[in-house]
Amino acid sequence: MGLKELLKSYIAISGITLTQIQTELNTRNGTSHGVQNLSKKINNETLRYNEIEQIADILGYKIEWIKKESIVANTIGNKAYQDYMLKLMQNIHFLFNAMQNIPPALIEQSLENGNLNPEKFQELVNSLEKSLNK
């Protein structure tokens, strides 16, 4: 959803007209812009950030920036992250295919007290990878 659609939906929900919003913006900023000016800025998505903040305030909202905790949120679009994810998916695909051919007795060797031991499992995967690459 673009800025235009987002603003129009919040304006519609609020029941406040563009004329009322522009009147309040003019009062706050000491300006005398017409409602056509605001409508054009919304449609062209050319509002300045401080204008968006003021409109949000007029509508009874505040804009908050909240830090995402996920590694994904901080690295989307990052080439290194994309390469990492591709390699991870290749490894998962390899493991899935390999697991179908591993006898249960071998998988049990990777278990410790009923739980998978990552180091033992990695040893099993490494040995399988070597045997498949020969």
- pLDDT of 4-57, one tens digit each? 888 988 888 888 999 999 999 999 999 999 999 999 999 999 999 999 999 999
List the beta bridge partners of residue 116: 111
Per-residue tokens: 134: 């020969």
Instruction: Give helix then strand counts, H and E, for the chain.
Output: 8, 2
Given this model, what pLDDT does residue 3 score? 86
How do residues 82-121 score in pLDDT, each as one tens digit?
777 777 777 776 666 655 666 676 667 777 777 777 787 7
Instruction: Determine contact, residues 28/54, Cβ cutoff 8 Å.
Output: yes
Q: Which two tokens stand for residue 130?
A: 């070597």
Domain extents for the chain? 3-59, 71-133
